[in-house]
Amino acid sequence: MTIQLVVVRPFGTYAKGDAIGDAASIATILASEQATSVVRVQLPAPSQPKQGG
């Protein structure tokens, strides 16, 4: 699973709806007062193509 943040209230250079996936940015935001301006979402891992046949 991949964790991302989605902006629900604009702040800094981020607009509502922006997705933030950089691990360093996520850690910085969650440790700041801006943590209440985002929601954490989990994205499923990409599916692997089926092999064989």
Going from N- to C-terminal start, the domains of the chain cover: 2-40
Q: How many residues does the chain have?
A: 53
Tokens of 16: 């509502």
Identify the pLDDT of residue 38. Answer: 98
Q: Are 34 and 25 in contact (CB under 8 A)?
A: no
Q: 48 pLDDT exceeds 80?
A: no
Sign, Cα dihedral of 35, 38, 5, 25: negative
pTM: 0.80
Look at residue 5 in the predicted model and tell me its pLDDT. 98
Rounded Cα distance between 23 and 51, Å, is 32
Q: What is the pLDDT of residues 4-37, one digit of tens each?
A: 999 999 999 999 999 999 999 999 999 999 999 9
- State residue 51's pLDDT score: 76
Query: Looking at residue 46, what is its pLDDT?
Result: 75
